[in-house]
Amino acid sequence: MRRKVKKERGNFDMDSTAQTFNHRLTSIKLWPPSQSTRLLLVERMTKNLITPSIFSRKYGLLDKEEAEQDSKKIENIAFATANQHFEKEPDGDGGSAVQIYAKESSRLMLEVLKRGPRVKDGEMITSEKVGAAHETVFDISGGHRSFIDAEEAEELLKPLSVQGKYTKICFSNRSFGLGAARVAEPILLSIKDQLTEVNLSDFIAGRPEAEALEVMNIFSAALEGCVLRFLDLSNNAMGEKGVRAFGSLLRSQHNLEELYLMNDGISEEAARAISELIPSTEKLKILHFHNNMTGDEGAVAIAKMVGHSPVLEDFRCSSTRVGSEGGVALAEALATCTNLKKLDLRDNMFGVEAGLALSKAIPAFSDLTEVYLSYINLEDEGTEALAHALKDSAPSLEVLEMAGNDITTKSAAALATTIAAKQFLTILNLSENELKDEGAILIGKALEDGHDQLKEVDMSTNMIRRAGARFLAQVVLRKSGFKLLNINGNYISDEGIDEVKDIFKNSPSMLGLLDENDPDGEDDADEEDADNDDELESRLKGLEIKQDE
């Protein structure tokens, strides 16, 4: 059996966008990304740019046409930047180029979100609109990341003390040293009673630990007592010392609705400190805790916060090194979050036991629209339990991702039954499993009726051969708004490749690249021969997917 290679992920915190550029990577070559991966990134960025968010509330929401144009430009710039690095400093597998590609895409997309929609020809911007924006939002994060000293801080922060009644501040992407922090201190003290949103992500980059901790202490003391609904402390490599440096600020927060602690080096000790310091999470709706080194004990501490967050709608605890014990604790805590709409637990080491615990919590999530459970070692037992739980809950589910979970044909029927019931699905990702032709045809059969909103299906690296590939292609082609089928990295014969390409001859952009397909790949000894592909397809096409089983 072909050995599969696990995906590598960069620090790219725009949730659905990260998974896009992190296309299946092999140990031989990580750069450049395939054309289908680049197109997927553009699609995901476009979706992010037209989705209402805190940025659209501040700066306005882009329309789809403008978002697509911006996304294409962003991807081209990010690709060129990363490719230039790769050519000048080749690192063998291209890993650092992938990281640059991700970070540059994320940075540029953030700039577009903060810019908002461009003024259209003939459109008038009234003084009332301009005044309202300046009265509420103060943002110095635009442009290149830079160190700022005391003199520059005085100039940058002057509007805070002389103009308008700001309620939202963003100091992200600027590195504050002690001099700049001391300039900011009296200004923050003077306006803290009016603040509702504070973004201090990535605001101490490159500073020595002692200086960074003192800067955190200064900001924390200055902002203590402000009544915030939004707080972002991401990308500050805080660890436990950093968390406790923000102790004064955290201890004074009773009304937080959104809290972001991504890529912060949060160990189990730091996680316990967070749980200990924040006095109340009763109003918390969004908690993002991505890319930390939390582990099981840390997850137990975070679970205590989750268990006291009854109105939580969006929980992200991905890439945090959480194992079975922590996964079970999180699952049990999540069962109390009946308003949950989005759940992202990707890239952890949960295992079957945690998967079973999560399946018991799933029925509570009647409003769930997005679930990301890739790379958490579910295997067939955990997959079947979750599939059964999802079938009878989450009626409006739009995104289902369960890639890289060692799922075989054994649990394909359970998955198919669940998928058949989810008529609002837009994205389905079951890549890097072992579903083979039988599983692929069952999934295709589940998608056959309805599913008019389906946009993307990823069944790459699943040991699929000619029959499965052909049937999937025939099914998705009939969906009017479908965008992309990814069946790369499988065992499709040359004849099968020709057949699939012929199916998509009038819409080639809907078919992802097939450059990693291995027509000579061998499955287990009991796998059907290529000659039996047609018979297998015929047998499974007639199978009825019953939703009431």
How far is residue 158's CA from residue 151's CA, in Å, rounded to a whole number? 11
In terms of Cα–Cα distance, which of 2, 10, 19, 3 is closest to 344? Answer: 19
Over pLDDT 90: what percentage of the chain?
A: 66
Q: Is the pLDDT of residue 459 over 90?
A: yes
> pLDDT value at position 130?
38
For 295, list phi and psi in degrees, rounded to 5. Answer: 70, -175
Q: Tell me the DSSP string of 209-272.
A: HHHHHHHHHHHHHHHTT---SEEE--SS--HHHHHHHTHHHHHT-S--SEEE--SS---HHHHH
Q: Is the pLDDT of residue 23 over 50?
A: no
In terms of Cα–Cα distance, which of 219, 232, 230, 242 is closest to 153? Answer: 219
How far is residue 259's CA from residue 289's CA, in Å, rounded to a whole number? 9
- Beta-carbon contacts of 65 under 8 Å, excluding residues fewer than 6 positions away, are none
Contact in structure between 258 and 286 (CB atoms under 8 Å):
yes
> pLDDT value at position 124?
37
**pTM for the predicted model, two decimal places:** 0.75
- 118-165 pLDDT tens trace: 644 334 333 334 344 444 889 998 877 889 999 999 999 998 877 668
- 352-407 pLDDT tens trace: 999 999 999 999 999 999 999 999 999 999 999 999 999 999 999 999 999 999 99
Helix (H, G, I), strand (E, B) or coil at 148: strand
> pLDDT value at position 56?
72
Over pLDDT 70: what percentage of the chain?
A: 85
Q: Is the pLDDT of residue 100 over 50?
A: yes
- 54-69 pLDDT tens trace: 777 667 788 888 888 8
- 184-208 pLDDT tens trace: 999 999 999 999 999 999 999 999 9
Mean pLDDT of 419-442: 97
In terms of Cα–Cα distance, which of 332, 294, 334 is closest to 315? Answer: 334
Chain centroid to CA 417: 26
Q: Higher-confidence residue: 49 or 389?
A: 389
How far is residue 381's CA from residue 305's CA, in Å, rounded to a whole number? 29
> pLDDT value at position 539?
55
> pLDDT value at position 29?
64
Q: Is the pLDDT of residue 80 over 70?
A: yes
Structure confidence at residue 101 as a pLDDT band (50, 70, 90): confident
Mean pLDDT of 294-323: 97
Structure confidence at residue 436 as a pLDDT band (50, 70, 90): very high
Instruction: Please state, rounded to an integer, the average pLDDT across all residues of the chain.
Output: 86
Fold of the domain spanning 35-115: Serum Albumin; Chain A, Domain 1 (1.10.246)
Mean pLDDT of 233-250: 96
Contact in structure between 183 and 156 (CB atoms under 8 Å):
no
* Residue where the block lists tokens 């070559």: 29
The gap between the terminal CA atoms of the chain, to the nearest Å, is 33
Q: Higher-confidence residue: 115 or 420?
A: 420
Pairing of the two strands 258-260 and 230-232? parallel
> pLDDT value at position 535?
57
> pLDDT value at position 10?
37
- Per-residue tokens: 337: 């979050």
Angle at alpha carbon of residue 515, lines to 513 and 518, rounded to 5°: 125
What are the start-end ranges of the E strands in 345-390?
370-372
How far is residue 459's CA from residue 266's CA, in Å, rounded to a whole number? 34
Mean pLDDT of 88-99: 73
> pLDDT value at position 506?
94
Q: Is the pLDDT of residue 473 over 80?
A: yes
How far is residue 503's CA from residue 514's CA, in Å, rounded to a whole number? 14
Helix (H, G, I), strand (E, B) or coil at 398: coil
> pLDDT value at position 164?
62
Helix (H, G, I), strand (E, B) or coil at 146: strand
Mean pLDDT of 213-219: 98
- 38-48 pLDDT tens trace: 888 888 889 88
